[in-house]
């Protein structure tokens, strides 16, 4: 099958411009520092490199050689910038910008050494793509999402094509002096470019959508002040944990924790201080729970902890440790050290078919009420629900 390179060139150009337009549309309303704006500019530079090639016959040779390669280098720098902005890095390192002056310099100096020029620029572009792939695989960043895999695959293929081009030019398999926009051998190049611009843009947009979905999920399931699960999330977790404990005949304990005299903190120091105290208590509790335990903010200054496979005796030991930890960790607020204590109600032991998430919470809440009535800063247990409920 013969591919019409002129048609492919036109398609690559139109698709590149269209992709840039829609990415700009998605970025509309976002600050100019947003990753999508950098990606849109990268697509424009990428398209400009192909337009420059298509205008080869109308441009002076020096302009054609320098401009085309420079636009491509700019597009890769902007793509790296977009990936890093997506990851929260505001600005890339200065040495990442080296291709912006190195590529035009080499194209100028090697204007009459076509093979060396093609090999050197292809290797620089491959190195730039390698930096993008390294950023995508950065272990300090969240390693999830199919959009990232699409990008890694697409950029990996582009890097292999560039390395193959450099090798072919170095070994004389391609004629680096006679390529033109009308050369039939360029049809596969335009086809690869079309696939590349579609794949990398799809991957980046998909990665952006996944991030938005993750943030929406966190807004729906996390308490934004403390970072813990919110009431909906911790209630759902309790439902599933109760069902699992019933199926497997395991122990399950529930702690209801409440900050003592929290209203006094707000009245004496202000609501901002109250927020700081809430975060400090949440951190103290979360840091001392086991990996299998779960905790969430149940409301106001109240927290709910779920302790899978934990007897009443074990739950009481852990509850006492949590109470002591909060008491021993005052919250610093400006020049003030705000001492904080908590009261804890415990419902623990064997789970029967009659137990529900609501009944466990109600039992722990009743025990918490007794702890408050008994003087606060203490742990109280709910009466055993049945035989063996307080066994170790």
- Note the pLDDT tens digit of each residue in 291-319: 899 999 999 999 999 999 999 999 999 99
pLDDT the model gives residue 307: 96
pLDDT(182) > 70: no
Spatial contact of 309 and 303, defined as CB atoms under 8 Å apart: no
Mean pLDDT of 211-219: 82
- The residue whose two tokens read 């697509």 is 43
**12 falls in which pLDDT band (50, 70, 90)?**
confident
Q: What is the pLDDT of residues 102-128, one digit of tens each?
A: 999 998 888 888 889 889 999 999 999
> Which sign does the torsion angle of CA 104, 106, 107, 111 carry?
positive
pLDDT(380) > 80: yes
Q: Where is average pLDDT lowest: 1-10, 228-237, 253-262?
A: 1-10
pLDDT the model gives residue 374: 93
**189 falls in which pLDDT band (50, 70, 90)?**
low
**391 falls in which pLDDT band (50, 70, 90)?**
very low
Q: What is the pLDDT of residues 41-83, one digit of tens each?
A: 999 999 998 787 777 667 677 777 788 889 999 999 999 999 9
The CA distance from 278 to 199, in Å, is 46
pLDDT(354) > 50: yes
Give the three-state DSSP class for 376.
coil
Mean pLDDT of 173-181: 61
pLDDT the model gives residue 20: 93
pLDDT(390) > 60: no
Mean pLDDT of 13-39: 91
**260 falls in which pLDDT band (50, 70, 90)?**
very high
DSSP 21-34: HHHHHHHTTS-TTS
Spatial contact of 156 and 219, defined as CB atoms under 8 Å apart: no
Spatial contact of 318 and 374, defined as CB atoms under 8 Å apart: no
The CA distance from 288 to 120, in Å, is 56
pLDDT the model gives residue 125: 93
């Amino acid at each position: 099958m013969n591919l019409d390179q002129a048609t492919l060139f036109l398609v690559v150009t139109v698709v590149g411009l269209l992709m840039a337009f829609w990415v700009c549309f998605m970025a509309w309303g976002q600050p100019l520092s947003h990753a999508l704006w950098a990606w849109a500019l990268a697509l424009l530079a990428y398209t400009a490199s192909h337009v420059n090639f298509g205008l080869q016959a109308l441009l002076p040779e020096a302009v054609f050689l320098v401009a085309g390669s420079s636009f491509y280098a700019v597009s890769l720098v902007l793509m790296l910038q977009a990936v890093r902005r997506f990851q929260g890095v505001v600005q890339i390192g200065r040495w990442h910008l080296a291709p912006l002056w190195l590529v035009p310099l080499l194209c100028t100096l090697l204007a009459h050494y076509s093979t060396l020029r093609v090999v050197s620029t292809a290797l620089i572009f491959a190195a730039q793509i390698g930096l993008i792939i390294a950023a995508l695989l950065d272990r300090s960043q969240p390693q999830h999402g199919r959009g990232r895999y699409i990008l890694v695959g697409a950029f990996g293929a582009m890097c292999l094509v560039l390395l193959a081009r450099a090798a072919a030019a170095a070994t004389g398999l391609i004629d680096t002096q006679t390529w033109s926009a009308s050369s039939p051998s360029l049809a596969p190049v335009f086809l690869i470019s079309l696939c590349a611009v579609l794949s990398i843009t799809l991957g980046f947009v998909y990665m952006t959508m996944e991030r938005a979905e993750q943030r929406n999920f966190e807004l729906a399931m996390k308490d934004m002040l403390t970072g813990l699960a919110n009431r909906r999330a911790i209630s759902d977790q309790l439902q599933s944990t109760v069902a699992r404990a019933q199926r497997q005949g395991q122990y399950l304990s529930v702690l209801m924790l409440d900050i003592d005299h929290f209203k006094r903190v707000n009245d004496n120091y202000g609501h901002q201080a109250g927020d700081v105290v809430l975060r400090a208590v949440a951190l103290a509790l979360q840091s001392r729970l086991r990996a299998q335990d779960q905790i969430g903010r149940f409301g106001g200054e109240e927290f709910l902890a779920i302790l899978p496979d934990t007897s009443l005796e074990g739950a009481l030991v852990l509850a006492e440790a949590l109470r002591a930890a909060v008491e021993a960790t005052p919250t610093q607020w400006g020049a003030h050290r705000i001492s904080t204590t908590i009261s804890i109600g415990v419902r623990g032991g064997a789970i029967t078919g009659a137990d529900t998430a609501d009944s466990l919470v109600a039992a722990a809440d009743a025990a918490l009420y007794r702890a408050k009535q008994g003087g606060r800063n203490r742990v109280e247990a709910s009466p055993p629900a049945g035989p063996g409920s307080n066994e170790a």
